[in-house]
Amino acid sequence: MIEKMVALMKEELTNIIKTKEADPAFIYVAVDFLRTYADQCHHGKEEDILFRDLKKKQLSPEHKKIIENLIADHVFARKTVGELLDANNSDNVDKILESLKKLVELYPRHIKIEDKDLFLPCMKYFSKEEQDAMVQEFWTFDKMMIHKKYEQVVEKLGMGGG
């Protein structure tokens, strides 16, 4: 699903280059998607479950470095999504373009590293029982995401946000 959103963001990037105008509604939806689905859900499961469990294992130096780089990508993505939102709020088309470009370049590379270099190779560190327990924890994490998201919405509204 992240790949599909990145493709849509790439289309918006092309449109902005052609028209010198951004679609503010699209940018707000993209920011929400990236913050909620890509970051809190996808990156959250990596950081809070997979990486946590991998830290308990004797990892190869290569796998340790990959995890460090993926975490750095997560930090970069969070910062860039914030910049995208700020640029959209201030109607700064150049900054929107810059932020979208960074994200459209980041995610395909990031996903390729996750899929090819980390996820499948790192399963060898876990027993079948550990893998099954992790999958169950992923499902529980996903179920709680919707509650967390809308608790934040209600909290924000209660603070004068609407």
* Per-residue pLDDT tens digits for 82-129: 999 999 999 999 999 999 999 999 999 999 999 999 999 999 999 999
Based on the structure, what is the number of domains in the chain?
1
159 domain residue, yes or no: no
- pTM of the predicted protein model: 0.86
Q: How far apart are CA 90 and CA 159, in angstroms?
A: 22
pLDDT greater than 70 at residue 162: no
Q: Smallest Cα–Cα separation from 144: which of 28, 32, 44?
A: 44
Question: Does residue 96 lie within any of the structural domains?
Answer: yes
Q: Are 24 and 88 in contact (CB under 8 A)?
A: yes
What SS3 state is found at 20? coil
> Residue 150, CB half-sphere, CA atoms under 13 Å: how many?
4
128 in a structural domain: yes
Nearest to 76 by CA among 33, 130, 49, 38: 38
| CATH number reported for the structural domain that contains residue 68 in this entry | 1.20.120
Identity of the amino acid at 85: L
Distance separating the N- and C-terminal Cα atoms of the chain: 30
| Structure token pair of residue 126 | 């876990």
Q: Is the pLDDT of residue 53 over 90?
A: yes
pLDDT, one tens digit per residue, over 14-52 is 999 999 999 999 999 999 999 999 998 889 899 999 999
Q: Is residue 13 part of a domain?
A: yes
